[in-house]
Amino acid sequence: MKLALPIYALALGLSLGTAAAAADNGAALPPKDVSWPSNGPFGTYDRGTLQRGFQVYKEVCSACHNMNLVAFHDLAAPGGPGFTEAQAKAIAAGYKMPAEPNDKGDIFDEKGNRLTRPGILADHFPPAFPNEEAARMANGGALPPDLSLIIKARQGGPNYVYSLLTGFGQKPPHGFAVQEGKYYNPYFAGRNISMPPPLMRGSVSFADGTPSTVANEATAVVTYLAWASEPNLEERHRVGFEVMAFLILLAGLLFLSYRQIWKDEH
Amino acid sequence: MAGQSTYVPATGLSRWLDQRLPILRLMHDTMTTFPTPRNLNVWYTFGGILTFCLGVQIVSGIVLAMHYVPNAGLAFSSVEGGIMREVNYGWLIRYIHSNGASMFFLAVYIHMFRGLYYGSYKAPREIIWILGVLLYLLMMATAFFGYVLPWGQMSFWGATVITSLFSAFDQLIPHLGTTITTWLWGDFAVGDATLNRFFSLHYLLPFAIAAVVGLHIWALHVPGNNNPLGIDVKGPQDTVPFHPYYTAKDAFYLSLFVILFAGFVFFAPNFFGNPDNYTQANPLVTPTEIVPEWYLLPFYAMLRAIPQKLIGVLVLFGALLTLLFIPWLDTSKVRSCRFRPLMKQCFWVLALDCVLLGYVGSQTTDAALNLGSMQLPLVWLARLGTAYYFAFFWVIMPVVGWIEKPKALPESIAKPVLATTGERT
């Protein structure tokens, strides 16, 4: 009998798959435990770290990774990296966006090149590659994931991405086979990752003088990615505090009315 | 207990209205003077809390629907790009709605276990219970449809797994199951057609829920509330008017519930969520683990406990349909477990059993518990848990009712007799 999607094959087969990977010593290490300033009920993002993180994203990650849900105006929005509107405009203008059809209805020039125009605040970050096939072609068959939601889309969140970015360069255990064209990273499921080590000492040079160690670069870019995933975190924490204060006061008053009303009946 | 109406229209206008549409009389009789047992405890506040949850889900959902795009190519970005980033306070409305579903189920489980413990399903309240089970089933369907809408990986694969359950009926009649599945999908795979109909149904069903809630409350107002002693109201000394006594009590406990709710919305909005649902649906990539939302996990564990697909699906449906028969499976004359020493123990084992099944449902199918030198595969725990679940309703409920010697019941709610001897009354 042929089933479109036999659930047992799905459930059992997949778990057998992970068991087999574990036998190959491919089970991922638990992520490092990092203390992020955005953790906890009053957590916020550090503006300087966000701006450095944006620099790392722009100069390193965006060569391969998209961030298609984030717009340039977000860079100047409250709770974000804290660029001024003029700075965000300048950043946007530095990107070449695929242009809309011109007055002849063309999107290619006479030589067949795609027409472009400078980005504006309303634009989203342009894709790194024209399409998925081109992205896979340039990355040994692997598709670099979009980073707009990456922190929320991975178990372990910022700790996981930080561990992954700082987890390169370790010696594989004896007998572990690193596949051709892949890199050993013990925090990645299966431990064979297609992404080459993205961050080196000095990959970027921070304008504020922060030493560009791999750890500093990773902290900065993970903070930036966390903001991209959850741009309203600061507002959420602030409104949450006000709502809680109101609700606790309300509950106190309701408790007193409840006791007052019931005092002769109990 | 509904009794005669005591409503007296106070003004000329309300007298005029009362002769044409006695809606103020209805509200007065059901929400103001309604005689309510004076001994209802905190667990009885969850009916009101559930009504609140339904209201929150409907209001927040209607606003979300204004911004949501039910299209397989656009749904994900309309939620994650539009609602969560561009819409004013969209993140708040979306987190209220997604956490609201979990809070709704938390409340309904407490409400159901309260009904089981105090025997609220017994005569003359059978229909209240059955309507409640219908509400629970409608809630599960609505939540399932809603979970598909953001069109993340878990939305897509959850929809695929759940709708594929029906393909098990191929084993009964060839092609029957596949035909049902194709009909549900509106296509030969989960896709745009599926998403559109799920959106339509997700918008429709809450109004069906609201209607059944109306029937549930109407049926409740005929015999009135059961109470923790499980004995009938004997007279006015046993009751207090619903308002202000229970409006005040419900409002206080509702405020505590809302504090918990807000705690999740503002400080852990993704606590109940699955990270995979922040990746757009991709029919070519199966997530390593397909896990339903927490409130469906016990049933998921039952499904996976059975190695044969059709039987597993029948067990899953059977576990839900069993709830409809509870009023006639319990043979005891005594309602409340306070006076049923044996049933009380079996009840708590059932509660633990459901938590255990939920835990097993959240784990991988090949997971095992390490007990020193021994390995206990979780699938065996699931089988044990499933067996107890069915045994509780189909064996323990009838048999314990016959063999148990209940404690002495108090004379009335107003004069509770704290008898601890096992004398039969």
Report the alpha-carbon distance of residue B28 to residue B6 in Å, rounded: 8
Element spanning A96, H or E = strand A96-98
**What is the least distance, in Å, from the CA of A173 to any CA of chain B?**
24
Q: Is A178 on the interface with B (CB under 8 A)?
A: no
Question: What pLDDT is recorded for position B1?
Answer: 43
Would you state the pLDDT for residue B366? 85
Question: Rounded mean pLDDT of B241-249?
Answer: 96
Are both A115 and A52 inside the same structural domain?
no
- Domain span at residue A118 reads 72-123
**The overall pTM is greater than 0.90:** yes
Neighbours of A58 (CB within 10 A): 18
pLDDT score at A25: 59
Same domain, A211 and A228: yes
ipTM: 0.91
How confident is the model over A34-57, as a mean pLDDT? 96
- Which of these ranges, A24-28, A126-130, A233-237, B163-167, has the smallest mean pLDDT? A24-28
Handedness of CA B289, B294, B295, B301 (dihedral sign): positive
Residues of chain B numbered 339-398 and touching chain A (CB < 8 Å): 364-366
Q: What's residue B23's pLDDT?
A: 95
A22 found inside a domain:
no
- Give the DSSP per-residue string, A104-165: TS-SB-TTSPBPEEE--TTPBPPPSSSSHHHHHHHTTT--PPP-TTTTTTSTTHHHHHHHHH
CA–CA gap between residue B301 and residue B383 (Å, rounded): 9
Above 90 in pLDDT, residue A6? no
Q: How confident is the model at residue B339 (pLDDT cuts 50, 70, 90)?
A: very high
Domain C-terminal end among A95, A123, A151: A123
Contacting residues of A for B165, CB less than 8 Å apart: 7
Question: Residue B420 half-sphere exposure, CB side, CA atoms within 13 Å?
Answer: 0
pLDDT, tens only, B354-391: 999 999 999 988 888 888 888 889 999 999 999 999 99
pLDDT of residue B416: 64
> Which sign, positive or negative, has the C-alpha torsion B66, B268, B378, B319?
negative
Q: Could you read off the pLDDT of B399-411 as tens digits, one per residue?
A: 999 999 999 999 9
- CATH number of the domain bearing residue A45: 1.10.760.10
* Stretch 104-123 of chain A: residues touching chain B, C-beta under 8 Å: none
CA angle A89, A70, B190 (to 5 degrees): 150
Same structural domain, A221 and A203: yes
**Residue B375: predicted pLDDT:** 86
Q: Are B31 and B246 in contact (CB under 8 A)?
A: no
Tell whether A12 is covered by a domain: no
CATH of domain B41-287: 1.20.810.10
Give the mean model confidence (pLDDT) for residues B94-107: 98
| Count of structural domains, chain A | 2
Same domain, A77 and A192: no
- Stretch B276-280: mean pLDDT: 97
Beta bridge partners of B368: B377
**Per-residue pLDDT averaged across B266-287, rounded?**
96
Whether residues A93 and A202 fall in one domain:
no
User: Is the predicted pLDDT of residue A12 greater than 60, yes or no?
Assistant: no
> For all residues of chain A together, what is the average pLDDT?
90
Same domain for A52 and A145, yes or no, is yes
Chain B, nearest residue to A69 by Cα: B81
Do A184 and A157 sit in the same domain of this protein? Answer: yes
Q: Which of A7, A123, A132, A233 has the most B C-beta neighbours within 10 Å, making it the best mutation to test the interface with B?
A: A7
Contact A189 B288 (CB under 8 A): yes
> How many angstroms away from the CA of B168 is the closest CA of chain A?
9
Domain boundaries, chain B: 1-33, 41-287, 291-301+328-425
Helix or strand (DSSP H, E) at B328: helix B309-329
The distance from CA B14 to its chain's CA centroid, rounded to whole angstroms, is 38
Q: Tell me how far apart the alpha carbons of residues B394 and B389 are, in angstroms, rounded to a whole number.
A: 9
Q: What is the mean pLDDT of chain B?
A: 94
Shared domain for A201 and A225, answered yes or no, is yes
**A46 and A148 share a domain?**
yes
Question: Are residue A170 and residue A62 in the same domain, yes or no?
Answer: yes
Q: Are residues A118 and A158 in the same domain?
A: no
One domain for residues A83 and A174: no
* Cβ contacts of A68 on chain B, cutoff 8 Å: 77, 81
What residue in B sits closest to A254 (Cα-Cα)?
B252
Report residue B182's pLDDT band, with 50, 70 and 90 as the boundaries.
very high
